[in-house]
Amino acid sequence: MSGSRARRQAVVTGLGVVAPNGVGTEAFWKAVQQGEFVLGPVTREGCTELPLKVAGEVAGFDPADLVEDRFLVQTDRFTHFAMAAADMALDEAHLATDPESPFAIGVVTAAGSGGGEFGQRELQELWGRGPQFVGPYQSIAWFYAASTGQISIRGGFQGPCGVLCDDEAGGLDVFAHAARAIARGTDAMVAGATEAPLAPYSAVCQLGYRELSLAERPRGAYLPFTADACGFAPAEGGAMFVVEEAEAARRRGAPVRAEVAGHAATFTGTRDWADSREGLARAAKAALAEAGCAPEEVDVVFADALGVPAADQAEALAISDALGRRAASVPVTAPKTGFGRAYAAAAALDAAAAVLALEHGVVPPTPNVAEVRHDLDVVTGEARSAPLRTALVLGRGLMGCNAALVLRRAGDGPH
Amino acid sequence: MTDALNAPAQGQVTFEELAGLMKARAGLTVDPARMAADPSTTFEELSLDSLGLLGIVAELENRYGCRIGEEAETCRTPHAFLANVNAQLANHR
């Protein structure tokens, strides 16, 4: 893979974000940089009586402002997020389909929750009023593939399309998928992940996760790397990117936001979070090797930060295994402690924060986290200014997938 | 069936009702007068996909308490669709 990637380098030329702490890249970055804390009570209809009390809800998002009715009626909220974020990313990249070459752009998304709200509504019609009251769009709206399909149809993107249903790690794996499509000849990929798990059926499904935080106080719900870690608070939203072949971007004068320098994925199952240490370390090492990046060159780590003591310990050890001596001094951050963990979209939001951090030369803080119990330089409190060239983003799934992504500041080739 | 396809679109279900269903079931804003005026306009030109038409058929079945034959779902134009549906509804009564 690295041979062909060297010839056709994948770069990020646009990003779009719909997150609990901000809709739009600017609002998101402002909140992330300031370490804004927006976790709060779950208020979505049908969810308020559940044992799950704290989550990151997206506020101030009206899909009708951003997406045509005909796409809204046939899609779930997670696809509304995806279509809106894809539009933002395409706007930033000044990219649209060329009717002369519709196969030049493809789409890949990751999703772990699917269209639970839409699906529940239709199933309630099925059992409440009968099969003749179930709308035909049920056949496509609940499905994990819905966002990829609708972005492709709506934008006229007929290049390679894919969907990853591989856990939280999917939000990083989409970059590898996009880079591979680009290496094989596609000019650009619309890639990313969005989730809308804050609906009754979806929320009830999550109650089976022992890692889910059932804390009642927002400030006490999601505290990774601390002695008070008690699981994670879920969130909705996500991020979409335009990943483009570097030369194609240069030809059309599109500014390069970051290089997709390396990626690797592993699987360590669900037996024990301690097992994720080796998987995550191997993924990080392989991603750095693909990027041609030595551990000393990693300027910031965006941690998975699950918030379960054994998982946090495994991640701290994995960072140490992968980075050696650099592990104790590299700034580690987890902006998601401010707004929650949006399953596959959590990793995509981390990638968005990483691109913005590299651009601004700022390591954003880990909101609401103070006393770190691991041998890591977790950035708490204020953001830290630093010249950043290389970011390592880590992601782990509740079902055992691990992934690492290396992003490099635009114009800073391998050293 | 041939009679149904050749019959005029006038009948129980009007272009106004069809336009309302296209809005409610498929999110499409369509001018019923323009749809009525041009028999050659296709559902495809109006951006209605096959699943959208299927939803409209189901809604009409629920409203009129009558099963509508599958050929209605294969009609390419609003005129052919209403002719088919209205012929079926007329036979039902």
Using a CB-CB cut-off of 8 Å, the residues of chain A touching B63 are: none
Nearest by CB to B28, which of A70, A137, A140? Answer: A70
Using a CB-CB cut-off of 8 Å, the residues of chain B touching A73 are: 25-27
Residue of B nearest to A129 (CA): B62
Nearest by CB to A136, which of B27, B55, B61? Answer: B55
Closest Cα partner for A201 from A84, A77, A59, A67?
A: A77
Interface test with A, best of B49, B50, B56 (most A CBs within 10 A): B49
Using a CB-CB cut-off of 8 Å, the residues of chain A touching B52 are: 70, 74, 136-137
Nearest by CB to A139, which of B25, B51, B58? Answer: B51
The nearest CA of chain A is from the CA of B36 a distance in Å of 21
What average pLDDT does this structure show over A218-226?
98
**Residue in the structure block whose two tokens are 């559902």:** B43
Residue of B nearest to A70 (CA): B27
Nearest by CB to B26, which of A70, A132, A140? Answer: A70
What average pLDDT does this structure show over B16-40?
96
Q: Which pLDDT belongs to residue B3?
A: 44
Using a CB-CB cut-off of 8 Å, the residues of chain A touching B55 are: 135-137
A128 touches chain B (CB under 8 A): no
Using a CB-CB cut-off of 8 Å, the residues of chain B touching A118 are: none
CATH label of the domain that carries residue B75: 1.10.1200.10
Q: Which pLDDT belongs to residue A412?
A: 66
In this predicted structure, the answer to whether residue A279 has a pLDDT above a threshold of 90 is yes
Pairing of β A300-302 and β A331-333: parallel
Residue of B nearest to A135 (CA): B55
Instruction: Give CA separation, B7 vs A213, B32, B86, in Å.
Output: 63, 19, 9
**Residue in the structure block whose two tokens are 């619309």:** A190
Domain membership of residue B41 as a residue range = 2-92
Q: Which pLDDT belongs to residue A410?
A: 87
In this predicted structure, the answer to whether residue B10 has a pLDDT above a threshold of 90 is no
Element (H, E) at A17: strand A10-19
Cβ contacts below 8 Å, chain A against chain B, sum to 37
Nearest by CB to A69, which of B27, B54, B58? Answer: B27
In this predicted structure, the answer to whether residue A411 has a pLDDT above a threshold of 50 is yes
The nearest CA of chain A is from the CA of B5 a distance in Å of 24
Closest Cα partner for A194 from A239, A234, A229?
A: A239
Using a CB-CB cut-off of 8 Å, the residues of chain B touching A135 are: 25, 55, 58
> How many domains does chain B fold into?
1
For residue range A297-347, list pLDDT tens digits in order.
999 999 999 999 999 999 999 999 999 999 999 999 999 999 999 999 999
Using a CB-CB cut-off of 8 Å, the residues of chain A touching B51 are: 74, 136-137, 139-140
Pairing of β A40-41 and β A54-55: antiparallel
The nearest CA of chain A is from the CA of B23 a distance in Å of 8
In this predicted structure, the answer to whether residue B1 has a pLDDT above a threshold of 80 is no
Q: Where in chain A is the domain with CATH 3.40.47.10?
A: 2-251, 261-409
Contact A68 B25 (CB under 8 A): no
Sign of CA dihedral A105, A106, A111, A116: positive
Contact A137 B58 (CB under 8 A): no
The interface predicted TM-score (ipTM) is 0.83
The class level of CATH for A261-409 reads alpha beta
Q: Which pLDDT belongs to residue B8?
A: 61
For residue range A288-302, list pLDDT tens digits in order.
999 999 999 999 999
Residue of B nearest to A130 (CA): B62
Terminal CA-CA length for chain B:
17
A267 touches chain B (CB under 8 A): no
Q: Which pLDDT belongs to residue A6?
A: 52
Confidence of residue A185 (pLDDT cuts 50, 70, 90): very high
A135 touches chain B (CB under 8 A): yes
Sign of CA dihedral A369, A373, A374, A375: positive
Amino acid at A168: E
What average pLDDT does this structure show over A115-127?
96
The CATH code of the domain at A2-251 is: 3.40.47.10
Structure tokens at A81: 């997020």
* Contacts (Cβ under 8 Å, ≥6 apart) of A153: none
Give the integer Cα–Cα distance in Å for A122 and A139: 10
Nearest by CB to A70, which of B27, B61, B62? Answer: B27
List residues of B whose CB lies inside 8 A of any A CB.
23, 25-29, 47, 51-52, 54-55, 58, 61-62
In this predicted structure, the answer to whether residue A5 has a pLDDT above a threshold of 70 is no
Nearest by CB to B62, which of A70, A132, A139? Answer: A132
